[in-house]
Structure 1
């Protein structure tokens, strides 16, 4: 067995062509693996002085051939630059970390399995398996760990598909920064959106059904990665999203997030008429004669209709009533006077 210093001297002699080649069977057996380890460490640390990052980006069979090590690589390490490196630095590198040594690593029957191992390594070893952080995985993170091409090759560029395939975490598609391409489009996309909305309300926010209108807002969708879904599928409307999941349960004006534009134009007029009738009959259950004493501006505001009353009727309840029930009501003042019981007129003395 050669001493380390002697091995380095032999390598330098071969490199400078003072020797034609290494001695026969120099890299055979345990002693040969030790010699290869000494040479590679001397080359990387002494001659090239590469950092870990440089090893990953620069080491290749071509580099080893340049330093007259092609025979060693081919005959004793199956032509693999990674096997050479792993022999010198056991378990310090993964095969996919070598940019120039993985051309055929992700091909064939074992390619997908290797992809799963690479992604698990990225999550467990590099991100320490931190579940909250996995929701932050983006294509940029895969690129950072030189796995962007794996993401594109096996998972259509979708971090969620990659995470699901590893079995490491069971995330919903929208819990990553970017849902799979086309996930919200077409009939299937709408179905996916319904599942996502129900998941948001019942699992994440745990809002009682009756409290959904006054609680849910665009901010909640955005907070849980569903802002884009709301825009693509439901035109940015929380009401439309909720209506798709719980049909005929709520009216749009029950939602605090309904915009002022909802009450404008011809469509706004239709909405206003429906809302006034809903307030009087469905919510307050008023008889006609009760309206003057029970209907006030604060009543409209309490049920989310203050904006409508202001925008369309300038806070004039008489206008609102006569719009919803044409010709059936006088001004509120007259109506209130008519419904007030007057004391009997005293008889003349």
Structure 2
């Protein structure tokens, strides 16, 4: 049956001139092709939804309320699979406002979540590796329909990125630092060393002790470090730097003896 004929049958069903689809209408690949014709007609012509708007405007009820549920059930399809049949590979399940039921469940759901985030980073947005810590934040997940992945993978941008790129980044590099990060002495030292010697380019702790100012933390968006690790007090920062100098002196003493 040609596309025009299939659409006429579907119109008759929609407008109740016909109670149901003909027997054996949805059989095998031919039936799937008819479903594709009908789905595209429904969304693009009958409902006037542009293709780019489909993930934002279409959910299960959109299809089921327009008589597509019975044929979908014949194939065991959820609403996303109906759309994917009509637009193969065009959309990802997580791009829709309504993610297919149980899509994020179990280990398979976790794998899907990781792949979804990786796809947006590498394929859709093409974010350079060095910019990942600054760009992957709460808004990133909301903007790209990845709320389910965000919830499943621990509510932490760092933890999610760590699952995708193990060992590549440190938690303190992210704009939304994980809870308790600044209670970890190792992370504080890593962050401070990066701040003092890579960003501010001090040549030594001695120079940092003399030159470092509270405004430097603001200028380099490290107010969280300043507040949480040092109580927003430069005296505490100076004390920390002095401890690093003492530790260096101790190391030199033990090496020489």
Q: Normalization by structure 2: what TM-score?
A: 0.84
Aligned to 2:5: 6
Aligned to 1:90: 88
Deviates more, 1:125-134 or 1:82-91: 125-134
Cα 1:51–1:183 shift into 2, 3 Å: farther
CA contact (8 A) 1:194 1:241 kept: no
Cα 1:109–1:248 shift into 2, 3 Å: closer
Aligned to 2:194: 199
Question: What do the CA deviations read for 1:118-168 (whole angstroms, capped 9, x no partner)?
Answer: 11122123321333442222201211112134213322x211111111118
| 1:92-171 aligned within 5 A | 92-134=90-132, 135-155=134-154, 157-167=155-165, 170-171=168-169
Kindly state the Cα deviation for residue 4 of structure 1 after the two structures are TM-superposed.
0.9
CA distance in 1, matches of 2:27, 2:167: 44
Cα 1:34–1:242 shift into 2, 3 Å: same
Aligned to 1:311: none
Aligned to 1:226: 222
Aligned to 1:213: 209
Which consecutive unaligned segments of at least 5 residues does structure 1 have? Answer: 251-349
Cα 1:233–1:30 shift into 2, 3 Å: same
CA distance in 2, matches of 1:140, 1:224: 21
Q: Normalization by structure 1: what TM-score?
A: 0.63
Which consecutive unaligned segments of at least 5 residues does structure 2 have? Answer: 250-257
CA contact (8 A) 1:197 1:245 kept: no
CA contact (8 A) 1:175 1:224 kept: no
CA distance in 2, matches of 1:90, 1:241: 58
Q: Secondary structure at the match of 1:23?
A: coil
Q: Secondary structure at the match of 1:101?
A: coil
Cα 1:231–1:128 shift into 2, 3 Å: same
Deviates more, 1:219-228 or 1:92-101: 219-228
Aligned to 2:28: 29
Kindly state the Cα deviation for residue 244 of structure 1 after the two structures are TM-superposed.
4.3
Cα 1:202–1:234 shift into 2, 3 Å: same
Higher relative contact order (CA 8 A, sep 6+): 2
Q: Secondary structure at the match of 1:247?
A: helix
Structure showing greater radius of gyration is 1
The number of aligned residues is: 244
Q: What RMSD, in angstroms, separates the aligned Cα atoms of the two structures?
A: 2.5
Question: What do the CA deviations read for 1:182-226 (whole angstroms, capped 9, x no partner)?
Answer: 2223xxx33321222123334554532143234433444445553
CA distance in 2, matches of 1:244, 1:85: 62
Cα 1:194–1:139 shift into 2, 3 Å: same
CA contact (8 A) 2:114 2:149 kept: no
| 1:260-339 aligned within 5 A | none
